[in-house]
Structure 1
Amino acid sequence: MSNYYRKFVSSILQSLESAIIVCSVEGEITELNRTAEFLLDLSREELIGKSIESIRTKLGSIIDLLSDAIRIGETITLTDQHFDAFGEKHFDVRITPLREEKRKRLSGVILSLDDITRRKKLEQELKSREQLAALGEMSAKVAHEIRNPITIIGGFVKRILASSDREKTEEYARILMDELQRLDGIVGEVLEISRRKSRPSEEEFDLVSVTREILAGFEEKATTENVKLVLYAKEDRIEYYGNKDRIKQVIINLVQNAIEASDKAGQVLITLERRIDCVSFSAKNGGKTIPEETLKRIFEPFFTTKTLGTGLGLSICKKIVEEHGGEIHASSGMEGTVFTFTLPTKKFGRFELEKDTDS
């Protein structure tokens, strides 16, 4: 019966697709399967009884982890490992201490190498297809956004060519300039959203005064829309260390959206707050409630519920905030819609930077 079970276990070991190498606590190879022989290009006779160090040239630093697994008595798992000796192949590696049931002590260690090369190639191919699909979708949306102003420009160029009226020609020229600026804005937004994330340049500035300047700039628009702008800040100054122009871009976008989304005779409440480890900015309006499904997608590139617009404004805001190590989110209910972003002072705050030059 003992021989039967020994042969049965050996049969299972030899049929495994993973390469299995068993070592004693002294580092002597005591067992391996056919997959391991094929992988190492060495026969069983050449390896049994030899030191595991004899195949260091093939397994590299993995050999050192065998003694670590025995020392701590725990399984060590490594994913997506590459060995120069095996060419382009990639492996998941598992090093498991081998225990004796009766004595409950470690008698060795099992090294398992699972070839994941095919799976990795499939994952890379799938990722490549997803990127191509995303690129195709983005290209289609950009083409759609650009086509409208191009059509308008083409129409007014024909009118200019057919008109001898100077006043009409000047009017058409102004419309052409507006559409060209619109085209330039679309291209700028697309370039911004496709730009690689990077650590922004930093300078010290006061968020409260920056916000006041922006609100003053929107005063005329708010009056036209019959919307009241209200700023609430407990402190007169809230110092921050980051990219002033890019943070202004976020605030401008959120304030503008809040004004446009407000009910007539409504109010936009801007709140600035210094917390323990961050600064917080929120823009609240009393417009229509945004459905949950829309909120989930509202920061996606090209997603918009407006008739005009690229749908890139909020995704650019998200990108800028995340570049500063912050977070942005939106919520909507019966009391209104609130867009909030927080910027960590621990990472970018001036006082923290003075304490830790590595931040």
Structure 2
Amino acid sequence: MASQINNSLSLQDAWNSGYLSGKVEVSDNSSNVFDSVIAKKTNSEINSLESFFITHQIDYEKDISLKEVTKRNNEGSCTYFCKPRTLNDLQKMVVFLNNENLDFEVIGDSSNVYFLECRKHNIIISTTKLNNFVHKDGELTCDCGLNLTKLANYCVDNGIANYEGFLGIPGTIGGAVVNNSGAFSSEISKVLKSITFLNTDNEIITLTNKDLKYKRRFSLIKSKQITGLVLTATFDVSNIVGKDVTIKQANDLVIFRRGYIDSDKISLGSVFISSTYSHLRDKYKYRLFLKKIIYFIGKQFIKKDKEKRKFNKELEFKVLGLSRFIDHCDTMNRFYWTKDTKEDIFFDYLNTLSDMSDNTLEIEIEMKGQEVDVKKYLPFYY
């Protein structure tokens, strides 16, 4: 292994080699050679990166567990986890990393993002400290890190229609714009006017709603036909119907979410795009019809609605041959983590449902990791 390190070794080379990532195991003697060469060749780059964080007052942590990033039971780690305080700092940081050709990922609060555990992730940037917004002349422009529920609350409190359905959706504006997030009658594509976007050539451009070619849980950014980073988003907030109307609608939706959707379990929300389940349900329609008959009879002996829903879910999983996932799912489309959940059962769940649907299910969440690794564990993803 030591012979593979030459005088042109960079920080990126060290990461790619697997040494800094922990992917490559080396002997004590080889490790000493690695340490010696890397200390000479990469310390200036490492110091340069950390100096950048310090100079721009960017909060960062080094060599932390993914559990601290995702709040889920994830193994694995990342070398740097940082949170820029301003859009300008975010822009400068991304330009710096692009110019240095360093691997990095930008996330909000990771509510619909899964990081593969098979290797150490280099740099993860969180936008959650970027949450300013300006409301002027029927438009609201907000930073990419603003929480989507906070946007919804503001609009509801000001009697602005079409935002009530966003209440309770975790995640940030940047991710919502990319995913075309929505619930009930609210959807990003219905209210977004434009975004400012930092492309991979380090240029800030403006993209309109039409430029993003929105479809259900789809945009050209999500499909990587447009690559870069959402900086700000501008929304149409001119449809004012009155606070009494929006609060009434919001309260009804919140009550429904608490009763039928939300829970205290840690999940990624909808794993697959709900509308793509039609083929799977048609394929297993006779089993699901049998489930309905058994449920109709069984529910007569159950008093509480919560217990009825649990019974209905368990029946569905059993008739479809998915019993092993009952303790990890609220519904067929929502997988959750406990302190004992391992990555392999999550991958088993993803691959099993994809196979059952003859690969017609379209995934809504985003997998973070090297493409070769994602393909290895989740062949259907690409």
TM-score by length of 2: 0.22
Rg (Cα) greater in structure: 1
TM-score by length of 1: 0.23
User: Which structure has greater strand proportion?
Assistant: 1
User: Which structure has greater helix proportion?
Assistant: 1
> Which of structures 1 and 2 has the larger relative contact order (alpha carbons within 8 angstroms, sep 6+)?
2
